[in-house]
Amino acid sequence: MGRGSWPLLVTVLHVLNKIALRDYGARITGVQIGEDSSRIDFKWEGFSPAVVAEVEGKVNAALAENRALKAYTISEAEFRQRDDLRRTLTAEPPVVDGRVRVVEIVGFDAQACGGTHVATTAEVGHFRITRTDNKGRINKRLYVRLDD
Ligand SMILES: [Zn+2]
């Protein structure tokens, strides 16, 4: 059984999409979170089996740094000027009373998100990419899960 708790998966998505963007210029186009396995679609130029192992290692190393997460809101106007807070190509974050929620992994990443997360990255456990599918030249689907 995978550790399907929603906040764990939502948290590891932040770490994964940060590393994908920062190190590979890859962006998320869709996410489906499931109890046992979750899938994430990316536009990812130069994706290969070697990259899969490398990304897994980088994500687990980042989780093990045991960084704290915190959430706060900024004005929608500020958000419009902060491209760095944007991760998906498809979805706009919710705007509530003119404000956008930001989730920060302290010292590592900040991105717009309305979801529920864990308090520290070490709670997430071990991250694995179990399978990848080609959905086109640069469209890649990753199946991921968490283990104790
Ligand atoms: Zn989130």
Q: What is the CATH number of the domain that holds 77?
A: 3.30.980.10
Tell me the CA–centroid distance for residue 111 and ligand 1, in Å.
8
Place of tokens 């590592």: 108
CA of 135 to the centre of ligand 1 (A): 25
Task: Look at residue 1 and tell me if it is in a domain.
Answer: no
Size of the chain, expressed as the number of residues it contains? 148
Domain limits for position 94: 6-147
State the total domains in the chain.
1
Give the distance (Å) from ligand 1 centre to CA of residue 8.
10
CA distance 146 to 144: 7
Centroid of ligand 1 to alpha carbon of 121 (angstroms): 12
Residue ranges of the chain whose pLDDT lies below 70: 1-4
pLDDT for 19 equals: 97
Residue 4 pLDDT: 57
Q: How far is the CA of 47 from the centre of ligand 1 (A)?
A: 24
The residue type of 131 is R
In angstroms, the CA 67 to CA 107 distance is 8
Give how far the C-alpha of residue 131 lies from the chain's centroid of Cα atoms, to the nearest Å. 17
Token couple for 38: 């979750």
CA of 50 to the centre of ligand 1 (A): 27
CA of 29 to the centre of ligand 1 (A): 15
Ligand 1 centroid–CA 118 distance in Å is: 10
Predicted local distance difference test score (pLDDT) of residue 1 = 37
pTM of the model: 0.92
pLDDT tens, residue by residue, 105-142: 999 999 999 889 999 999 999 999 999 999 999 999 99
Is 104 a domain residue?
A: yes
CA of 52 to the centre of ligand 1 (A): 22
Q: Does 130 fall in a domain?
A: yes
41, part of any domain: yes
Strand order across the 38-43 sheet: 27-32, 38-43, 139-147, 126-134
pLDDT, residue 90, reads 73
